[in-house]
Amino acid sequence: MQNPSSTLTAIGLSKPSSASSTTTTTPVAAGSISLGSKTYTQLSLNLTSPSGMTGTIYYKIFASYPDDWTSLNQVETYGTLKLDYTSNISSYTITGLEPFQFYRVDIIAKDSANNKILFPTFCVQMDPNISGTVSCSTGPTGIVTTLTGTGSSGTNDSSFSVATFNQPQGITAIGNALYIADSTNNRIRKLDLITQSVTTIAGSTIGYTNATGASAQFSQPRGITTDGTNLYVVDRNNHAVRLVNPSTGVVTTFAGALTAISGLTDGVGTTARFNAPGYMIFNGTDFYLSDEDNCVVRKITTSAVVTTHAGGGSSCPPGGNINSSLLSSSFSQDIVGLTFYQNYIFATDPTNNNVRKIDTNAGGNVSTFINFSSPYATAVYGKYIYISENIGHSIYKYNIETGVGGIFVGSGSAGSSDGTGTSASFNLPRAMAFFGNSLYVTDTLNHKIRKIE
């Protein structure tokens, strides 16, 4: 866990919540909030009371998806309440938050005379490797730039301006670095956002070898995720999930056979079997994996216990498009990207031209979130989902709660132009990951990593 040092100070006069509230005539001296420890699901706060208020001070705490509210009344009306008015607290831990999700935290102080003050809003990303606060916004505005990659394929480790990749696919973040599954190079690459340099931490030629650094081998690594410490690489053509220590480059097999053997077997570690798995995500407790050529979604605990979570309702191949209970549902042989929102997984199913919604709770169901032509990967920021599209080389943005949305960035045809909105272009944008307020995208056939602000 990190111990962020960010401190936010409340200033100004109190704000009555209604016409019947008493208006403060005495200026309220600054109080403050400092951030304590943070996990994937919990955020600790330390409070310093404002002075100049009357009698007992009560606190009301909200943790909501980012929105553009500016007033105390808006926060009380629309915010997600975590603690109702409670007196004499100097610290509080907000629980039940979603891993990697973004939240705005609002705190209202009220005194015995019903005078109220809204502390300054602050925002966080629920990743213990990201300390402090992030900018409060409802997401990137659509300015696309090239972070790294020259546009030519290659294996060059160097500064961002001259580094090269070969059809990069998966992307994740730890601390101030992005990690890329450089698929056709069969390498795992590190992008240091501070030094703006690219290094290879594991992999070299195609194969299946557990070893260290360049002595390790992968075969078309596709997805990549993290538990905050280690990397988990979906080694597609080896039908396995590999564990990579990002500090040492040591590679081992986390789940799946020790040789490139496919199958559909639940089990522990190397007794489990997969068939051309694609992408994997972590929710702070468990991993979920798109096991593409088995047409199912697998669940993997941190102890490498593998079970089938959803799918299996139709024979595979070719799979199906059945919405039903978890194990009676079916997907195509092309289920790809996964992301979390609340207690659900959103899974892209390009062959069925839809994005499916999968309950993470046992006894839940699978439904269709949206019909969408050839979706590939997804990422979530607050209440918005971003979907990369294969055919139109674009990224779409939808409000998850209303289903309203449309094209966000991309011209609709293949290209490599930086720009804003539809003036930018991609060539098969694939996996996406938020780090802070920016969305990073693997632009696969351009051999680039793009940044959207």
Domain chopping of the chain, boundaries: 7-125, 143-452
Query: Do 7-125 and 143-452 show the same overall fold?
Result: no
Q: What is the pTM of this model?
A: 0.92
Which has the closest alpha carbon to 311: 326, 323, 301? 326
Residue 5 pLDDT > 80? no
- Has domain 7-125 been given CATH number 2.60.40.10? yes
Confidence of residue 51 (pLDDT cuts 50, 70, 90): confident
CA distance 128 to 91: 19
> What's the pLDDT score for residue 88?
85
Fold of 143-452: Neuraminidase (2.120.10)
> What's the pLDDT score for residue 30?
55
> What's the pLDDT score for residue 262?
97
Percent of the chain exceeding pLDDT 90 equals 84
Q: Note the pLDDT tens digit of each residue in 267-313.
A: 999 999 999 999 999 999 999 999 999 999 999 999 999 999 999 99
Which has the closest alpha carbon to 294: 257, 267, 319, 325? 319
Confidence of residue 6 (pLDDT cuts 50, 70, 90): very low
Pairing of strands 177-182, 168-174: antiparallel
For residues 362 and 408, the answer to whether their CB atoms sit within 8 Å is no
Residue 61 pLDDT > 60? yes
Confidence of residue 13 (pLDDT cuts 50, 70, 90): very low
Confidence of residue 19 (pLDDT cuts 50, 70, 90): very low
For the ranges 122-136, 230-244, 259-273, the lowest mean pLDDT is seen at: 122-136
The residue-averaged pLDDT of 169-178 equals 95
The residue-averaged pLDDT of 54-83 equals 94
The residue-averaged pLDDT of 201-221 equals 98
